[in-house]
């Protein structure tokens, strides 16, 4: 399967489907319409999967198969869809005024018969504010795509549609969109850096679940030929928490349509940590930047603050310490933070950063280009923390400056290309002395001025524990041309002599003109 990671530049029908669906939005706010559309796409998916397996059971009825037995479907990890919730029933009512009520009742019936979806599906299609004619048109539009049958699943049709719609809604919502969506290129870079092959994966602010989806995609893409023995996705356990209820529902649906099992809790990770005893092997996160109302004044004695009490005015280092607290021995965390986290000395932040560095937990820092995020124009960076660095890298931090990378995909958004992601990740793995893809010998690491630098803790102390990569990587060296020295000197000498001759000619002409005017010597 070829995986598409672009936010839109290489997609086909997904863009057309979005354009058609967006045209039906009318005056409805994107934040509301998001749940209308994604809920229907989810309903269509589980109905397609159900109908395909139901046809197979019908063909096997003579052998004892029962197409109306819910357990037949559950045994195959297929959601049981009761008759009133099947897409054919929805589509038959698409042009009727009661279509909203029909969809709400379908969602209720599916939750009733599938406990894993309890409280997850949207049930607000009957509300007066939702234009029923437009809703019927949307049903007809979605009817025309097959997204849940086996062929579509093998091509990850639904995954592509869902991912593209999530990114477009994030773009349409602007700042609010960042609450549920991290650009796919950023997620892919995090995953390629920490390589979550086996163990517990945790995201304490999981949004719509992109970190988990990309982790599964990574394992599928690297299941063979990487020295990891073709490990199956069952080798990782997923844990996530999300404070926004509607975003939590998006995450549950996003994982369900991909058949990903995970423990996804609803609640505030600071004040209602649903996994207090979890020690994760991998942590991936994009916490909200610079949150000032996180309730830190009520948590001043919290046991998670091993490296210092985070300021009540900014949650950045509360997130950092929350993740360190949940990191298993030998575990690695990769997460996004605002650039200010690398240098701020206000309200104890500098002291916390210093203590984390002195404990040798910081593995790598990556400065990101601007315009990657839908939610903010605040410059961002990636932190990588690790318990148990390789011996040859103890007391060192790798700095990578990727600010000049990325390409613009529209007037306001940039994304990292697959080649750039690979370059950054390969540099990190080379620095750690880890094998190449396929299990080959480690690549040799070397500092590259303007791009990467391995700095010692002593060097970082001299910079007052500031972690901005630009302070360490220096300036890129201009590429040398390949013209032989003797040849270049002959060429430059000839050019110089020609310029000198031209200067003498011009001097003589000017002198002649001055004499004609009576000003000559």
Taking only the tens place, the pLDDT of each residue in 435-472 is 755 555 657 899 999 999 999 999 999 999 999 999 99
pLDDT in tens, 295-309: 999 999 999 999 999
Chain center to CA of 163:
11
Phi, psi (rounded to 5 degrees) for 128: -60, -30
Phi, psi (rounded to 5 degrees) for 513: -65, -40
**Res. 323: pLDDT tops 60:** yes
| Average pLDDT of the residues in 469-494 | 78
Helix (H, G, I), strand (E, B) or coil at 239: strand
Q: Which residue has the higher pLDDT, 2 or 479?
A: 479
Q: Are 212 and 240 in contact (CB under 8 A)?
A: yes
Query: Up-side HSE of residue 400: CA atoms within 13 Å toward CB?
Result: 28
Nearest to 253 by CA among 110, 103, 60, 82: 110
| Residue 312 pLDDT | 95
| Residue 482 pLDDT | 61
Q: Could you give the CA distance from residue 209 to residue 247 in angstroms, rounded to a whole number?
A: 9
**Res. 155: pLDDT tops 80:** no
- In order of 414, 420, 447, the CA distances from 473 in angstroms are 23, 17, 8
Lowest mean pLDDT among 23-37, 195-209, 217-231: 217-231
Q: Are 18 and 38 in contact (CB under 8 A)?
A: no
Nearest to 306 by CA among 293, 295, 320: 320
pLDDT in tens, 247-265: 898 889 888 877 788 999 9
Report the Cα–Cα distance between both ends of the chain, in Å, rounded.
85
Q: Which residue has the higher pLDDT, 387 or 441?
A: 387
Residue 75 burial class via C-beta count within 10 angstroms: exposed 0-12, middle 13-18, buried 19 and up: exposed
Q: What residues pair up with 265 in beta bridges, in sequence order?
A: 241
| Spatial CB neighbours of 257, under 8 Å, sequence gap ≥ 6 | 42, 45, 46, 158, 159, 162
Q: Could you give the CA distance from residue 68 to residue 348 in angstroms, rounded to a whole number?
A: 62
| Residue 519 pLDDT | 66
| Average pLDDT of the residues in 97-117 | 95
- In order of 299, 310, 351, 481, the CA distances from 345 in angstroms are 21, 12, 7, 44
| Residue 91 pLDDT | 95
**Res. 148: pLDDT tops 60:** no
| Average pLDDT of the residues in 61-69 | 90
| Average pLDDT of the residues in 226-248 | 72
Residue 452 burial class via C-beta count within 10 angstroms: exposed 0-12, middle 13-18, buried 19 and up: buried
| Average pLDDT of the residues in 363-388 | 89
Highest-pLDDT range among 150-164, 357-371, 475-489: 357-371
Nearest to 180 by CA among 35, 36, 46, 320: 35
Helices within 326-375 (DSSP H only)? 349-358
Highest-pLDDT range among 183-187, 247-251, 314-318: 314-318
Nearest to 357 by CA among 326, 329, 330, 317: 317
pLDDT in tens, 157-170: 666 676 677 777 77
The reported pTM is 0.79
| Residue 232 pLDDT | 42
Q: Could you give the CA distance from residue 197 to residue 230 in angstroms, rounded to a whole number?
A: 10
| Residue 4 pLDDT | 37
Nearest to 252 by CA among 213, 286, 291: 213
Q: Which residue has the higher pLDDT, 435 or 233?
A: 435
């Amino acid at each position: 399967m070829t995986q598409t990671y672009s936010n839109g530049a290489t997609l086909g029908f997904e863009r057309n489907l979005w354009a058609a669906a967006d045209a039906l939005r009318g005056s409805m706010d994107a934040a509301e319409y998001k749940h209308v559309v994604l809920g229907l796409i989810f309903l269509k998916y589980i109905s397609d999967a159900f109908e395909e397996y139901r046809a197979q059971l019908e063909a096997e009825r003579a052998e004892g198969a029962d197409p109306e037995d819910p357990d037949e479907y559950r045994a195959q990890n297929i959601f049981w869809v009761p008759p009133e919730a099947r897409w054919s029933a929805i589509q038959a009512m698409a042009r009727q005024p009661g279509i909203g009520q029909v969809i709400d009742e379908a969602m209720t019936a599916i939750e009733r018969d599938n406990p894993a979806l309890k409280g997850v599906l949207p049930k607000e299609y009957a509300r007066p504010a939702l234009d029923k004619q437009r809703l019927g048109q949307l049903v007809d539009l979605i009817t025309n795509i097959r997204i849940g049958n086996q062929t579509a699943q093998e091509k990850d049709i639904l995954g592509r549609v869902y991912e593209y719609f999530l990114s477009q809604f994030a773009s349409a919502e602007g700042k609010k969109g960042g609450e549920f969506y991290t650009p796919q290129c950023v997620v892919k870079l995090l995953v390629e850096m920490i390589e979550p092959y086996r163990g517990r994966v945790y995201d304490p602010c999981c949004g719509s679940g992109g970190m988990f989806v990309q982790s599964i995609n990574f394992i599928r893409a690297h299941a063979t030929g990487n020295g990891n023995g073709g490990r199956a996705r069952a080798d990782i356990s997923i844990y996530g928490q999300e404070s926004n209820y509607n975003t939590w529902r998006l995450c549950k649906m996003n994982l369900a349509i991909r058949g990903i099992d995970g423990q996804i809790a609803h609640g505030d990770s600071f004040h209602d940590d649903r996994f207090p005893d979890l020690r994760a092997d991998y942590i991936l996160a994009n916490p909200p930047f610079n949150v000032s109302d996180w309730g830190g004044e009520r948590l001043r004695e919290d046991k998670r603050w091993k490296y210092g009490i985070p300021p009540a005015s900014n949650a950045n280092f509360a997130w950092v310490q929350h993740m360190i607290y949940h990191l298993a021995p030998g575990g690695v965390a990769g997460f996004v933070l605002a650039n200010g986290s690398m240098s701020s000395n206000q309200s104890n932040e500098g002291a916390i950063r210093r203590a984390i560095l002195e404990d040798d937990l910081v593995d790598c820092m990556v400065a990101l280009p601007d315009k990657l995020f839908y939610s903010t124009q605040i410059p961002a960076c990636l932190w990588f923390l690790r318990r148990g660095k390789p011996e040859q890298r103890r007391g060192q931090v790798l700095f990578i400056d990727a600010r000049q990378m990325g390409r613009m995909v529209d007037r306001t958004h940039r994304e990292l290309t697959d080649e750039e992601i690979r370059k950054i990740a390969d540099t990190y793995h080379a620095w750690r002395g880890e094998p190449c893809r396929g299990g080959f010998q480690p690549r040799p690491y070397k500092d590259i001025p303007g791009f990467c630098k391995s700095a010692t803790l002593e060097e970082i102390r001299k910079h007052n524990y500031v972690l901005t990569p630009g302070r360490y990587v220096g300036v890129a060296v201009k590429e040398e041309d390949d013209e032989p020295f003797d040849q270049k000197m002959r060429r430059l000498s000839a050019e110089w002599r020609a310029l000198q001759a031209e200067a003498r000619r011009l001097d003589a002409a000017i002198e002649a003109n001055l004499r004609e005017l009576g000003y000559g010597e």
